[in-house]
Amino acid sequence: MNVKREVPIQSVTVNDPFWSKFQNLVTDVVIPYQEKILGDDIPGVEKSHALANFAIAAGQQEGEFYGMVFQDSDVAKWLEAAAYSLAIKPDVKLEKRVDDIIETIGKAQADDGYLNTYFTIKEPEHRWQNLQECHELYCAGHMMEAAVAYYETSGKDRLLKIMEKMADHIDARFGPDKETGVPGHQEVEIGLMRMYWATGKEKYKKLAQFFIDQRGQDPEYFAKEAEKRGWTHFGMNPVDQKYSQIHAPVREQTTAEGHSVRAVYMYTAMASLAAELDDPSLKKACQVIWENITNKRMYITGGIGSTVQGEAFTIDYDLPNDTVYAETCASVGLIFFARKMLDMDVSNRYADVMELALYNGVLSGMQLDGKRFFYVNPLEVNPGISGKLHNHEHVLPERPGWYACACCPPNVARLLTSLAKYAWGEDEQTIYSHLYLGGTAELNKADVSVVSNYPWEGNIKYTVSPKQEESFALAIRIPGWVKEVDISLNGEKLGKDVMKNGYMYIQRVWQADDVVDLTMELPIRKIYANTAVREDAGQVSIMRGPIVYAFEGVDNGEQLQALRIRKDGNIQVSKEDKNLLENMRVLEVEGLRVKTSQKLYSETRPTSEPLMLTAIPYFTWGNRGLNQMRVWMYEES
């Protein structure tokens, strides 16, 4: 089996007309803004107190714990984002602040390795008694990820040593012939795998495997735990087995169930282990779950989780647009899952979904100024209803500055600063280009530079400079929606016989400055949902390349529900809109406005008048004030 190597962040320099803007936004605005939020330095937004919690636990200041029981995870995700940011753009002052925070975290750690500010400050007598609700393992997993990220990007191991001590504490408590232990919110499994890769210590991989293998062996685990402890934190239902994915052993689960973020974090760890262990049964389980999500339980934007009740998956084809949940973290987790599936089996069916969620489900979670964020990512918003009426309270029509449960904002930051991991892959025989990320990548076999204006244009140029004379392949993903593609090597067109699972494999002994040109059309496409999706019957959505488009009231007037897209009407790229985003392509769509009687009900048939509609990329909606938005529109002759 070829070993897939994760490409280090620091080996990739991003120079991309699209993504550089977002990475610079994160490094220059988002990370400093979120640091101030975590330090309670910005008035008028939801209080965090997360940094103060660590200082209190460390004995550096007086006070009480404040926030969610998993408040530590906000700091962990911010630290991970900061680690990647420092690799992109060195900043001595930021690095010093990161080091100071890490020192405080070290002082907050108990002598036995335990690290969690809630229980250290507030309820030390209840440590490890409530795995279902209290997220000790979840917080540990995120801090492990931060520790590995900072070690890999800076070479500093202070936080890594802290988290090795915590991992050893967990390992001493849970495992075969110890306490059973089922994480209430999966994440520690991902953290342990990253600790294993960073340290080479097999016990961390084995502990991750234990947590995965143990899950669902006793579906009544949380009910028994609740009865034993006799107290509750959130009042979660301990007998709702699907919510926490403990209803069956992971290899027997065939549908995506329960809390969507917990689920995709678990599937990410399962795919990591399946690839690492070359475990066919675990691989099969991942593939079955993947097919269920992407073919029956995923929004066109790459959003997952269709109900606010439990922030969860529901049933096949239940994908409401105006009461959707589609948490930003869930799309981030879907990207994690997709990336690990690519380690098992390189195929554009995984990379296409990874790209879809990245450009739509994740980017929509952040305002273009980097200072406001969505938790929920709806596909239809109606001011006066959304955020107000019963069952719509969670669907906010405008992004808030922060949340009491602020898991999403730092999750977006750590993803966007680590794009290199998702754009590139490498094994012993092949370099993989999963995303068209402009810039340079210093890989083991070659340095590769990419010139790209994707997603607005479909011309990508690769220049390959091998490091030694040997034969290897450059495998470039061709998206499944592409109908026409030309690829040439040093000006000579290549045939389609080198295509495998949606990747174009170019095998050769490479010469210095070999050039591969990829040219693909980015047609405007009308997308129709399966008729089993009752909310989308008779409607159509529009995509161009990987971008889903949306209609806003600010462009198209009131009552978007009265607008129709003409079945045989023309849709064209109208202009580059520099007001929202440089180079952004706006679409002009031939449509109709339906006009009816002013009465509530009437026997008079509605009439219609033609008009041109404007569609903007979905991820940019909500940046021009309060107004309606729709992704799915009715179609009419």
Which pLDDT tens digit goes with each residue over 42-95?
Answer: 998 889 999 999 999 999 999 999 999 999 999 999 999 999 999 999 999 999
- pLDDT for 180-204, tens place per residue? 999 999 999 999 999 999 999 999 9
d(CA 342, CA 432): 10
- pLDDT at residue 337, rounded to an integer: 98
Mean pLDDT along residues 540-555: 97
Cβ atoms 439, 460 nearer than 8 A: no
- pLDDT for 453-494, tens place per residue? 999 999 999 999 999 999 999 999 999 999 999 999 999 998
Mean pLDDT for the chain overall: 95
- pLDDT at residue 4, rounded to an integer: 62
Neighbours of 279 (CB within 10 A): 17
CATH 2.60.40 positions along the chain are: 425-520
The amino acid sitting at 57 is A
Band (pLDDT 50/70/90 cuts) for residue 401 is: confident
Question: Is residue 578's pLDDT more than 80?
Answer: no
User: What are the backbone angles phi and psi of residue 616, rounded to the nearest 5°?
Assistant: -120, 160
d(CA 525, CA 253): 35
Question: Is residue 579's pLDDT more than 80?
Answer: no
Question: Is residue 513's pLDDT more than 80?
Answer: yes
- pLDDT at residue 324, rounded to an integer: 97
User: What are the backbone angles phi and psi of residue 488, rounded to the nearest 5°?
Assistant: -130, 150
Question: Is residue 1's pLDDT more than 70?
Answer: no
Between 152 and 578, the more confident residue is 152
Active site residues: 311, 407
Give the range among 48-62, 80-94, 401-415, 497-511 with minimum mean pLDDT. Answer: 401-415
Mean pLDDT along residues 255-271: 98
Helix (H, G, I), strand (E, B) or coil at 144: helix
d(CA 570, CA 573): 10
Give the range among 2-16, 217-231, 295-309, 368-382 with minimum mean pLDDT. Answer: 2-16
The amino acid sitting at 86 is L
% residues pLDDT > 70 (the chain) = 99
Mean pLDDT along residues 280-292: 98
Does domain 425-520 correspond to CATH entry 3.40.1350? no
Task: Give ∠ CA 307-311-316 in degrees, rounded to 5.
Answer: 45
Question: Is residue 237's pLDDT more than 90?
Answer: yes
Question: Is residue 335's pLDDT more than 50?
Answer: yes
Taken in order 283, 315, 409, 138, the sign of the CA dihedral is negative
Q: Say how many CA atoms lie within 13 Å of 4 toward its Cβ.
A: 23
Nearest to 253 by CA among 221, 225, 290: 290
The secondary structure of residue 489, as a DSSP letter, is E
Q: What is the CA radius of gyration of the chain?
A: 25
Token digits of residue 486: 């030309």
Token digits of residue 338: 């997709």
Helix (H, G, I), strand (E, B) or coil at 25: helix
Question: Is residue 395's pLDDT more than 70?
Answer: yes
Question: Is residue 637's pLDDT more than 90?
Answer: no
Nearest to 433 by CA among 449, 455, 418, 413: 449
pTM for this predicted structure: 0.97
Q: 328-344 and 348-356 helices cross at what angle (nearest 10)? A: 160
Mean pLDDT along residues 5-14: 90
The amino acid sitting at 626 is L
- Could you give the residue ranges of the DSSP H alpha helices within 490-604? 553-556
Band (pLDDT 50/70/90 cuts) for residue 3 is: low
d(CA 329, CA 326): 8
Mean pLDDT along residues 504-520: 96
d(CA 470, CA 558): 62
CA 404 to centroid of chain Cα atoms: 20
% residues pLDDT > 90 (the chain) = 93
Token digits of residue 32: 């400093």
Q: Say how many CA atoms lie within 13 Å of 115 toward its Cβ.
A: 31
Band (pLDDT 50/70/90 cuts) for residue 272 is: very high
Give the range among 3-7, 130-134, 213-217, 375-379 with minimum mean pLDDT. Answer: 3-7
Task: Give ∠ CA 528-361-244 in degrees, rounded to 5.
Answer: 100
- pLDDT at residue 200, rounded to an integer: 96
Mean pLDDT along residues 153-178: 97
Mean pLDDT along residues 227-246: 95
Helix (H, G, I), strand (E, B) or coil at 347: coil
d(CA 249, CA 388): 40
Question: Is residue 2's pLDDT more than 70?
Answer: no
d(CA 144, CA 494): 45
Neighbours of 634 (CB within 10 A): 17
Nearest to 489 by CA among 445, 469, 519: 519
Distances (CA, A) of 405 to 67, 76, 375: 8, 14, 9
Q: Is the peptide bond before 455 cis (omega within 30 degrees of 0)?
A: yes
- pLDDT at residue 457, rounded to an integer: 96
